[in-house]
A and B are shown apart, each in its own frame.
Chain A
């Protein structure tokens, strides 16, 4: 367990279309060490406060029920995901 804490989690993004009953359809599956932990969706509807930002539509496991901030870029989202799941033995 202690050894795993020092290993940087491998975060992989895979494009996916998501039904949100809104124009926000462009999504990314977020896999950490091969396990699905979240679905990110780009905010394309003009009504949003930050159009173009990325929103964590769903969180799984450790991210379940977490109210995440919206992210300006996928890089920022990835950094946040990595920080949240670091030390978490997937």
Chain B
């Protein structure tokens, strides 16, 4: 299991044998978590870093009137909360969307390794930087794109992120999100999401059947919403050689 983490981090930074040995000394706990379950809730004291190995999760916040805002989606290979373990108290929640397999890395183990292994620290910083870049793009999405472009943009982003971890087949990927999940993510109503899905289907850009989303014309969908994948840093020139092989595919069932 540690190898999965090592591969992930090596996609960002070159690690030494000592770095790898230190990572292997982690005692990660693998958990199978049901769908719609909090990994950690608003108000909790965080103690572990969660890494998603399988399934989808999200970062969200509940407003006093019961409205939920989703601020991030996590797909296989994503750390849910790389830095939040520093917090005394969670100001938001992290919950699963679909059933997930997660790894819990104890806070002490992260602190120990980052204190002694600068390359690992840099790799973890990469992960955090990409998370921030995604958050920036979502901010742009909610603030500046129309409803149908917002959703199209999300579909394009998920395609790229899932492709990077070997979870896309023929431009199709698992889409366990409900219309309400999408609405709560994009600052829209369920009705607007329903209309947008209808419009995108009508344009022959997507199909959504049995919780599998298929993008029928990737280039057209990207053009439709002005999608530019640069913020995902998936093809960083420095590391492209090492980042071609999806690291996660080798640890299936791990």
- A interface residues (Cβ-Cβ under 8 A, vs B): 20-22, 24, 43, 45, 47-49, 55, 67, 70
Contact = CB atoms under 8 A, between A and B. Distances in A.
A21 B195 contact: yes
Contacts of A67: 67, 189
Contact of B199 (A21, A48, A49, A70): A21
Nearest to A20: B195
A20 B191 CA distance: 11
A22 B147 CA distance: 13
Interface residues of B, number: 10
A45 B196 CA distance: 12
B89 interface: no
A47 B202 CA distance: 12
Contacts of B179: 49
- A-B pairs, top 6 by smallest CB distance, nearest first, are A22-B195, A55-B191, A47-B198, A47-B194, A48-B194, A67-B189
A82 to B, nearest CB: 19
The residue among B179, B195, B197, B198 with the most chain A CB atoms within 10 A of its own CB is: B195
Contacts of B67: 67
B190 interface: yes
A23 B67 CA distance: 28
Nearest to B148: A21
Contacts of A45: 194-195, 198
A20 B146 CA distance: 13
A24 B194 CA distance: 11
B191 A70 contact: yes
B56 to A, nearest CB: 21
Nearest to B199: A21
A20 B195 CA distance: 9
18 contacts: A21-B195, A22-B195, A22-B198, A22-B199, A24-B191, A24-B195, A43-B191, A45-B194, A47-B195, A48-B191, A48-B194, A49-B179, A49-B190, A49-B194, A55-B189, A55-B191, A70-B190, A70-B191
